[in-house]
Chain A
Amino acid sequence: MSETEQTVRLPDMTHLVVSSSPHIHDKDDVRAIMLKVICALAPACLASIYIFGIRALMVLLVCAASCVAFEALFTRMQGRPLRVNDCSGLLTGILLGMNLPVTAPLWLCVVGSLAAIGLGKMAYGGLGYNPFNPALVGRVALLIAFPSAMTTWALPACNPLKWLGADAATGATPLALLESSEAEAAAMPSFSALFWGGTGGSLGETCAAALLVGGIALVFLNVIRWQIPVCLLGTVALCTGIGHLVHPEQVASPLLHLFSGGLFLGAFFMATDMVTTPLSRKGAVVFGIGCGLFTSAIRMWGNYPEGMSFSILIMNSLTPLIDRFTARRPFGVRDARKEVKA
């Protein structure tokens, strides 16, 4: 016995960590979540590069790089610990790039990144504190400040090697066609072109198929709640469907609305941003329906052909209210209202 006792090694107690329970942790962290979203965006990025040529990659890269650079700059200026490696700035950059037309000048990308990171994120204190989706703040800022550059849509070339510069053939997006005169509306693309990405538009709004693949992957990776995209798309389909039945000549068919104009990009990647959307599943349903209603309303009656960004920003601002009204009843707490009735 004494022999074995001497060989027993007792732990060194001088380098122990003490912390509150729990002492084990799920493998997921913020960085992993952001990387998952970026991976889910990859098919749509590749599709956009295929459709619009190598310049699309250029736009995406400039946006991503400048967003990360601005985030680093602002954290340094605010004297906070640098957290660029959580990849949230990178994701914002890619999402912003997906929201720009391929013809966007590169300085526009940088200005958009400044607005997205500076106004949309760091002004509020960085990741977790921003009330609005930063990429959408960037996009909307550009849309209002530089309307012509933001609505000059290159027609797809479907030739990845072709350099689409300022001389590219330009055209309108399907939704812009709808808003314009009837003669032009006759040139509407087919649904298959919409689904696979053969139409004009921003980088991320053309190929619905690639977005759908990424979005479904995110749902299965438990990164986003399925309630938001399903409710959003369902509401848009329902509203535009009713509109189409009542005024077929003014409101396009719900299928066209679903597959055009960044609805998928918004529904799967922008409206599901964790920071700016409600916490609970119930809240997610409300949020999705709200986005759908605002989008349909803007598309059917508004001046802008595209309603997604504004509707998501509006619902972002309502998120704290939604959180309050969809708060759950804790376990064992009786419903006060029922109690009074009984």
Chain B
Amino acid sequence: MYPVLLLTILGVLLALAIGLVVRYFDAPEDAQGDAVRSLMPGANCGGCGFAGCNDYASALLRGEAKPGACHAMSAENLEKLCRLLGVAQEAVGEPLVAVVCCSGDDNHAVHRAFYNGVNDCLNAVLVAGGAKGCSYGCLGLGSCARVCPFGAIEIRPDHIAKIHPNLCRGCGKCVSICPRKVIKLVPRSVPVMVYCSSPNKFAMKKQFCSAACIGCRKCQKASGEDKIFINGFLASVNTEDPPDASIVEVCPAKCLRTICPPTAEAAESVQK
């Protein structure tokens, strides 16, 4: 008899407690906030300059941030967001994509020594500046792949990072972590990039890498002065006024390549 009584009383008391908590400590309903948060990509990449998606959403709601700061958001969600916040959709910056500007995989680039230590680029540069011969080359130990919130970076077995443009949302996390500074953010409309970052002299480059840009100016001649710049021994694509994708044909070193291989055959030919 007593246990039954005891449990009944306990049950009633706890029910009362729950009721009181719900009544007095309920969080105010925030339909707009929830809707804004639900539109966030949820990667917490920090590319917008805030400490994560929630922070950015709060800033949006307070009116301290503008929609469009998030590179990772799809165009559809951005449109919804603008409608929700009641702001006219401004001209949003062009979506970006990250590119690893290096062609020095194990088939092309020379390793000066065997590196023994933590398998991470940030650690490897602390030991004799990294074991890869070219000091502007991708170390291929995957610091960028580990920070990528979208899993867009693949470390190839031949020790080079490759960014898959269809997965990359252009948040720029890899750009800031890369100790060799070989990753660049470019607008998606740019069809080609120079896959080499070394400003070294020709002889020094050739010593360490057979796929380096040799500064031959063929691409510049083929496309025009303002589409491709040559700084010393390194060509670079003018991202504001890029050349056509067909320009890749002229590069003898095969380090001027398309960012998004349009077809499978093209992708293969690039790899060859």
| A positions within 8 Å CB-CB of B | 15-20
Residue B203 at the A interface, CB < 8 A? no
Q: For the complex, what is the distance from the CA of A17 to the CA of B128, rounded to whole Å? A: 11
Please name all residues of chain B whose beta carbon is closer than 8 Å to the beta carbon of A18 when the two chains form the complex: 113-116, 127-128, 131
Residue B117 at the A interface, CB < 8 A? yes
Question: What 0/1 pattern do residues 95 to 137 of B give for CB contact below 8 A with A?
Answer: 0000000000000000001111100000100111001000000
Q: For the complex, what is the distance from the CA of A238 to the CA of B79, rounded to whole Å? A: 75
Q: Can you list 22 residue pairs at the A/B interface with Cβ under 8 Å? A: A15-B114, A16-B113, A16-B114, A17-B113, A17-B114, A17-B115, A17-B116, A18-B113, A18-B114, A18-B115, A18-B116, A18-B127, A18-B128, A18-B131, A19-B115, A19-B116, A19-B117, A19-B127, A20-B117, A20-B123, A20-B126, A20-B127
Please name all residues of chain A whose beta carbon is closer than 8 Å to the beta carbon of B117 when the two chains form the complex: 19-20
Q: Which residue of B lies closest to A17 (CB)?
A: B114
Question: What 0/1 pattern do residues 222 to 250 of B give for CB contact below 8 A with A?
Answer: 00000000000000000000000000000
Shortest CB-to-CB span from B116 to chain A, Å, is 4
Shortest CB-to-CB span from B157 to chain A, Å, is 16
From A15, A18, A19, residue with most partner B Cβ within 10 Å: A18
Shortest CB-to-CB span from A17 to chain B, Å, is 5
Q: For the complex, what is the distance from the CA of A232 to the CA of B28, rounded to whole Å? A: 56
Please name all residues of chain B whose beta carbon is closer than 8 Å to the beta carbon of A15 when the two chains form the complex: 114
Please name all residues of chain A whose beta carbon is closer than 8 Å to the beta carbon of B131 when the two chains form the complex: 18
Shortest CB-to-CB span from A330 to chain B, Å, is 22
Q: For the complex, what is the distance from the CA of A19 to the CA of B115, rounded to whole Å? A: 6
Q: Which residue of B lies closest to A16 (CB)?
A: B113
Please name all residues of chain B whose beta carbon is closer than 8 Å to the beta carbon of A16 when the two chains form the complex: 113-114
Q: For the complex, what is the distance from the CA of A15 to the CA of B116, rounded to whole Å? A: 12
Top 4 closest pairs, chain A to chain B, by CB = A19-B116, A18-B113, A16-B113, A18-B128
Q: For the complex, what is the distance from the CA of A19 to the CA of B131, rounded to whole Å? A: 9
Shortest CB-to-CB span from B120 to chain A, Å, is 12
Question: What 0/1 pattern do residues 171 to 185 of B give for CB contact below 8 A with A?
Answer: 000000000000000
Q: Which residue of B lies closest to A15 (CB)?
A: B114
Please name all residues of chain A whose beta carbon is closer than 8 Å to the beta carbon of B126 when the two chains form the complex: 20
Shortest CB-to-CB span from A305 to chain B, Å, is 34
Shortest CB-to-CB span from B159 to chain A, Å, is 15
Shortest CB-to-CB span from B144 to chain A, Å, is 21
Please name all residues of chain A whose beta carbon is closer than 8 Å to the beta carbon of B115 when the two chains form the complex: 17-19
Shortest CB-to-CB span from B141 to chain A, Å, is 14
Please name all residues of chain A whose beta carbon is closer than 8 Å to the beta carbon of B113 when the two chains form the complex: 16-18
Q: Which residue of B lies closest to A19 (CB)?
A: B116
Please name all residues of chain A whose beta carbon is closer than 8 Å to the beta carbon of B127 when the two chains form the complex: 18-20
Shortest CB-to-CB span from A81 to chain B, Å, is 13
Shortest CB-to-CB span from A84 to chain B, Å, is 22
Q: For the complex, what is the distance from the CA of A108 to the CA of B198, rounded to whole Å? A: 65
Please name all residues of chain A whose beta carbon is closer than 8 Å to the beta carbon of B123 when the two chains form the complex: 20
Please name all residues of chain A whose beta carbon is closer than 8 Å to the beta carbon of B128 when the two chains form the complex: 18
Q: Which residue of A lies closest to B118 (CB)?
A: A20
Shortest CB-to-CB span from A30 to chain B, Å, is 18
Q: For the complex, what is the distance from the CA of A20 to the CA of B117, rounded to whole Å? A: 7
Please give 13 more A-B residue pairs, beta carbons under 8 A apart, in addition to A17-B114, A19-B116, A20-B126.
A15-B114, A16-B114, A17-B113, A17-B116, A18-B113, A18-B114, A18-B115, A18-B127, A18-B128, A19-B115, A19-B117, A20-B117, A20-B127
Shortest CB-to-CB span from A209 to chain B, Å, is 46
Q: For the complex, what is the distance from the CA of A20 to the CA of B115, rounded to whole Å? A: 9
Please name all residues of chain B whose beta carbon is closer than 8 Å to the beta carbon of A20 when the two chains form the complex: 117, 123, 126-127
From B113, B117, B131, residue with most partner A Cβ within 10 Å: B113
Q: For the complex, what is the distance from the CA of A16 to the CA of B115, rounded to whole Å? A: 9
Please name all residues of chain A whose beta carbon is closer than 8 Å to the beta carbon of B114 when the two chains form the complex: 15-18
Please name all residues of chain B whose beta carbon is closer than 8 Å to the beta carbon of A19 when the two chains form the complex: 115-117, 127
Q: For the complex, what is the distance from the CA of A15 to the CA of B114, rounded to whole Å? A: 7
Q: Which residue of B lies closest to A21 (CB)?
A: B127
Q: For the complex, what is the distance from the CA of A116 to the CA of B78, rounded to whole Å? A: 53
Q: For the complex, what is the distance from the CA of A20 to the CA of B116, rounded to whole Å? A: 8
Q: For the complex, what is the distance from the CA of A17 to the CA of B113, rounded to whole Å? A: 6
Shortest CB-to-CB span from B131 to chain A, Å, is 6
Please name all residues of chain A whose beta carbon is closer than 8 Å to the beta carbon of B116 when the two chains form the complex: 17-19
Shortest CB-to-CB span from A66 to chain B, Å, is 33
Q: For the complex, what is the distance from the CA of A17 to the CA of B131, rounded to whole Å? A: 9
Shortest CB-to-CB span from B179 to chain A, Å, is 15
Please name all residues of chain B whose beta carbon is closer than 8 Å to the beta carbon of A17 when the two chains form the complex: 113-116
Q: For the complex, what is the distance from the CA of A16 to the CA of B127, rounded to whole Å? A: 13
Shortest CB-to-CB span from B149 to chain A, Å, is 24
Q: For the complex, what is the distance from the CA of A58 to the CA of B214, rounded to whole Å? A: 71
Q: For the complex, what is the distance from the CA of A20 to the CA of B131, rounded to whole Å? A: 12
Shortest CB-to-CB span from A45 to chain B, Å, is 38
Shortest CB-to-CB span from A18 to chain B, Å, is 4
Q: For the complex, what is the distance from the CA of A20 to the CA of B123, rounded to whole Å? A: 9
Shortest CB-to-CB span from A72 to chain B, Å, is 24
Q: Which residue of A lies closest to B130 (CB)?
A: A18
Q: For the complex, what is the distance from the CA of A19 to the CA of B128, rounded to whole Å? A: 8
Q: For the complex, what is the distance from the CA of A20 to the CA of B128, rounded to whole Å? A: 8
Q: For the complex, what is the distance from the CA of A19 to the CA of B127, rounded to whole Å? A: 6
Query: Which residues from 15 to 39 on chain B have a C-beta closer than 8 Å to any C-beta of chain A?
Result: none
